[in-house]
Every structure is written in C-alpha cells, then in structure tokens.
Structure 1
Amino acid sequence: MNQKGKWMTLLFLDSFLFILALSTNITPLYFLVMILSFYIYKNGNAVLFKEYDERKKQKYEEYKVVQDAAKEVIRTGNLLKKKKEL
C-alpha cells in the first residue's frame, strides 16, 4: 500500500471511531480519536494534502507579488500622476 493509501485508511478509521464515540458516548474512545487525529495531522498532513498545500502556496506567492506592487504604487504615487496626465 502506498503512503497516501495508508494515511487515507487511518483517516477513514479515525472518522469511523469519531462517529462511534459520538453514538456510544464512550469516553476512552474520545481520547483515542484525539490521539489518532493528532498523529494523522502531524505525520500524514504532508502526504494527504500535498497538492492542496502547493496550490495554496502558489496563490499566496501571487498575492504577495500583487500586494508588493500595490504598496510600491501607493508609496511612489505613480498611479495618481498618470491618471492626472490623461
């Protein structure tokens, strides 16, 4: 089984245990779900959500470029001067 399959199986098991804990109200099961969730978050997040994290990082970098350009235009006032010339 590949890495993503392993983490998806653990995530499915954790979701199932969470629903079981809610329906049966067994307190130790809540703690097991919390520990398993934390383990999945710390070790499996990079494998499960790799594509999503890359897209999010790329969008943030594009946003940062636009934000820096807007700051530069506001700081220098070039946009307002060009508008007055037209």
Structure 2
Amino acid sequence: MKGVVMMSQKGKWTLLLFVDILLFLLAITTTLTPIYFLVILLSFFIYKDGNAVLFKEYDERKKQKYEEYKRVQEAAQATIRTGKLLKRKGSCNK
C-alpha cells in the first residue's frame, strides 16, 4: 500500500484524543449542541477502547504501587498482630 502511513495503536488513539480536544474547544467557542454530542460519543469511544493503549505505562506503575502498598499494609498488620512492634530487642522480662 503506497501512500498509506501505518500508524501505531498509541499514535492512532493520541490523534483521536487530540481531535476530540479540538472538537471540544470548537464546541465551547461556537456553542453548537451537536458538536457536544459528537465530543461525548468520541470521548466514550476513546475511553472504552483506547484507554488501555494510551495509559498502559501509567496503569502498570499504578498497579505496582498498589501491590507495594498491599505488602506494606499486610506486614504492618502482621507486626501489630504479633506485637513485635512494642517489644524491644534485648529487653529483660522481670
């Protein structure tokens, strides 16, 4: 296919998001209601199908932070349950 530029998935969704933003700005400046509906439909389409492609790295970082948070929370709960937090090393029980 000559003359056809193949675009990556992320590039396609980024372009659609940019077009959606431009349409939104156009709708605000012209106050044409049909453009608002077009913006809403395009935004929903981008969110539904393009979110995983556009924000893949962000979602992965968010998931890693959440898993780390859960590990720390479980360790803190285990420490509180066992009471090791209040006991000092080398202290004598008399």
Q: Give the TM-score normalised by the residue count of structure 2.
A: 0.86
- Show the counterpart of 1:17: 23
Q: Which runs of 5+ in 1 are unaligned?
A: none
Superposed, 1:54-65 pairs within 5 Å as 54-65=60-71
Higher relative contact order (CA 8 A, sep 6+): 1
The alpha-carbon deviation at position 81 of structure 1 amounts to 1.5
Residue 78 of structure 1 aligns to a residue whose secondary structure is: coil
- Show the counterpart of 1:4: 10
Matched to 1:2, the amino acid is: S
> Deviation per CA, 1:14-49, whole angstroms, max 9, x where unpaired?
000000000100001101100100000000000001
Q: CA RMSD in A?
A: 1.6
Q: Give the TM-score normalised by the residue count of structure 1.
A: 0.94
Residue 18 of structure 2 aligns to a residue whose secondary structure is: helix
2:54 corresponds to which of 48, 52, 58: 48
Q: Which runs of 5+ in 2 are unaligned?
A: 1-6
Of structures 1 and 2, the larger Rg is shown by 2
Percent identical: 70
